[in-house]
Structure 1
């Protein structure tokens, strides 16, 4: 992961403000949690909230303070082993699936670590240095990295809390808005030769470029995501039991995991319910369906007589739409009815997460973030109700394995013309 060259002036003050704001948001997200909540790790794909606090701190320490500050000394050199994630070149690391067993250092020690690194970063930004632009860019990169972990923190927490029979709430329950059903309509796009990818202005990760030309045949894309109401119709029509709708690997995953509904759903007294960060909630029929895998999304699209869009189709269709929607800042932490391509749910595309033509990862450990994951995963676009809005831009690509469901994952249909 790396940033395009964005910061050109003396922006230490700006970087310091961004840093303080992002770090405060992470602290606010964990403030309601009990110490026991902070230790939850329900599967190897998820991490405890305490680990997210520590890992994002280690990132600033490892990639900024240690190589850039001659006077910096870590409060505990063992933290590098405990809180590295998968940066092989940065050294050995604790097993990912055992992060929930690290009860020591305790929560207060992790918070003290955060404060120590916070003070060190702010002092570094205030120094009069020849490399102040590079440091500011690295701080910006670290802040975007932490924003990604803010999203992971709340979705990992949701997965962990879902195993508690008491069905605890992270945020106070609130009624779902009453809305009218919005008909499914499509907008036609003529296709042709176009360009996608980041143009170099503003922040972006390395995998968003280089900008390059693609050819699109004419297509239609839905004006809103697939809703829970439509998903229930798929279920009632035997969608989870109709083999021809499914890719072979998808059908194997469906059988192995006994999928018959989106993750966190159950039927009660003739109605569908879902576990959310606000506790048990009736499924909002007109909200975007959420917590479905690529395999399920692909099967639904085939059942609906459509397909998933490519990421080039998605970006071309929506790159001029204002980035407004239901993001982390709204505090709803659940999808709401609406047709915006931004927020609510990440939308699966049929595009594999692979390098754009001319992609070259940066050298060193920091280049491991995206490049080595460009295999066996699919691209999603648009952000979700757990994504910080300032992360979003038309070229932003996230990616997950096709069987994964615990993130806020949904879909939007496309069709050939």
Structure 2
């Protein structure tokens, strides 16, 4: 096995270790549904194995199906999450045996296929990048499920850098065109392609994500009770849902507290706010006299190098994320303090655009000009339209393998259980 294949094998092992760590719990916790928004944890566990069997073993390797009778059970499009507890899904022990059997055969396929040949699924290890990123995304979903479960002691805590308060509130991005998306990153998804020129007027964007202290001020000044800060749809949602603060926040006396993985603690005022919906982010931005950035504005501020005239893979350049540059890969189960990563700054001076919290943008999830589905329409194409808002950047729970300046996430504007925050922008004039 050559060096490239060994790196792929190491990534496969690392993501599987992560999945198994998140499902080291009593069977009752794994088979129970903790929210209609989420699947039982053991469904996610077997689903990643079934996806791997479908794409690596059957599609790329031409291997006879191992368990074709379970395909419908683990097809995410056939059964909504709220209905999955009623499926005859594999129990924890059987799910672990199944994914172990799949993985052994996957490594055999990796050893045998040509990663430099003309087959698109094989070329540059695309099919392996597909399943590695898919599993990391489900691992992040598992963490959101564990947070909703309220079970303590299921996530690790690690040391993060201290924050700093120095620096401008906003940075300026001059008018001009840039290349959005990618045509060169081998593991990029279809919705990130093709690279295309976008011309933007000048604008200002927050150097850092909006923090808990600033968001608490919005609440204290009646932000949730003032219709003028909310879009009509947002105000309807606010009234219907009766929310008054980010998910998992509660006020006792003069202090804000949050519940995080079964533990109640004071809200750290120097962290980026998380667990807010798009409607809440939009309302805050209006209250602050700003707006949410468009997806294009976000990407340009994050990774476009105006001197070199090219896009960077990460805000700081091409080098892989490190503990000094970004809070990724579940180093700790919360965002890092604001200003903790000056070494991770982008070309215009923005910070913490990768890691910590997914950031809402104002854009709907739409295809780029010249978009082509690959390898299947259900990854991106079926979601295009005006139902889902785009999120960018990756959270503390996202793995570096599934994060880059061009990566696009999307969700309904009401979603709050995911690790979401935002930053604001404003036009150069007005």
The partner residue of 1:359 within 342, 354, 371 is 371
Shift of 1:68: 4.5
Give the conservation status (yes or no) of the 8 Å contact 2:156–2:333: no
Instruction: Quote the residue 1:337 is aligned against.
Output: 337
Pick closer, same or farther for the CA change 1:395–1:305 going to 2, 3 Å.
same
Question: Which whole-Å deviations, capped at 9, do the CAs of 1:380-402 have from their partners, x for residues lacking one?
Answer: 11110111122111111111111
Equivalent residue of 1:126, what SS?
Answer: helix
Give the conservation status (yes or no) of the 8 Å contact 1:57–1:113: yes
Shift of 1:179: 5.6
Shift of 1:267: 1.1
Pick closer, same or farther for the CA change 1:67–1:42 going to 2, 3 Å.
same
What is the alpha-carbon distance in structure 2 between the residues aligned to residue 173 and residue 388 of structure 1? Answer: 16
What is the alpha-carbon distance in structure 1 between the residues aligned to residue 121 and residue 373 of structure 2? Answer: 18
Give the conservation status (yes or no) of the 8 Å contact 1:148–1:387: yes
Equivalent residue of 1:280, what SS?
Answer: strand
1:149-188 aligned within 5 A: 149-161=138-150, 168-171=152-155, 185-188=169-172
What is the alpha-carbon distance in structure 2 between the residues aligned to residue 132 and residue 189 of structure 1? Answer: 41
Equivalent residue of 1:85, what SS?
Answer: coil
Instruction: Quote the residue 2:307 is aligned against.
Output: none
Instruction: Quote the residue 1:64 is aligned against.
Output: 56
Pick closer, same or farther for the CA change 1:71–1:410 going to 2, 3 Å.
closer
Give the conservation status (yes or no) of the 8 Å contact 1:10–1:133: no
The partner residue of 2:179 within 169, 184, 195 is 195
Pick closer, same or farther for the CA change 1:201–1:131 going to 2, 3 Å.
closer
Equivalent residue of 1:415, what SS?
Answer: strand
TM-score relative to the length of structure 2: 0.85
Shift of 1:21: 2.3
Pick closer, same or farther for the CA change 1:400–1:128 going to 2, 3 Å.
closer
Equivalent residue of 1:328, what SS?
Answer: coil
Instruction: Quote the residue 2:276 is aligned against.
Output: 292
Give the conservation status (yes or no) of the 8 Å contact 2:163–2:336: no
What is the alpha-carbon distance in structure 1 between the residues aligned to residue 158 and residue 330 of structure 2? Answer: 16
What is the alpha-carbon distance in structure 2 between the residues aligned to residue 115 and residue 353 of structure 1? Answer: 35
1:96 and 2:87 aligned: no
Instruction: Quote the residue 2:412 is aligned against.
Output: 401
Instruction: Quote the residue 1:283 is aligned against.
Output: 267
The partner residue of 1:122 within 107, 131, 137 is 107
Shift of 1:44: 3.4
Instruction: Quote the residue 1:382 is aligned against.
Output: 393
Instruction: Quote the residue 1:328 is aligned against.
Output: 329
Shift of 1:202: 3.2
Shift of 1:133: 7.6
Pick closer, same or farther for the CA change 1:413–1:379 going to 2, 3 Å.
same
Give the conservation status (yes or no) of the 8 Å contact 1:173–1:278: no
Unaligned 5+ segments in structure 2 are 304-311, 340-351
Shift of 1:243: 0.4
Equivalent residue of 1:412, what SS?
Answer: coil
Instruction: Quote the residue 1:213 is aligned against.
Output: 197
Pick closer, same or farther for the CA change 1:172–1:360 going to 2, 3 Å.
closer
TM-score relative to the length of structure 1: 0.87
Shift of 1:285: 0.5
The partner residue of 2:403 within 392, 400, 408 is 392
Give the conservation status (yes or no) of the 8 Å contact 1:176–1:284: no
1:80 and 2:71 aligned: yes
Question: Which whole-Å deviations, capped at 9, do the CAs of 1:233-270 have from their partners, x for residues lacking one?
Answer: 10011000000110011001101110100001111242
Equivalent residue of 2:204, what SS?
Answer: strand
Which moves more between the two structures, 125-134 or 333-342?
A: 125-134
What is the alpha-carbon distance in structure 1 between the residues aligned to residue 168 and residue 219 of structure 2? Answer: 18
Pick closer, same or farther for the CA change 1:368–1:104 going to 2, 3 Å.
closer
Pick closer, same or farther for the CA change 1:178–1:389 going to 2, 3 Å.
closer
Task: Please report the RMSD computed on the Cα atoms of aligned residues, expressed in angstroms.
Answer: 2.5
Instruction: Quote the residue 1:146 is aligned against.
Output: 135
Pick closer, same or farther for the CA change 1:131–1:79 going to 2, 3 Å.
farther
Shift of 1:214: 1.1
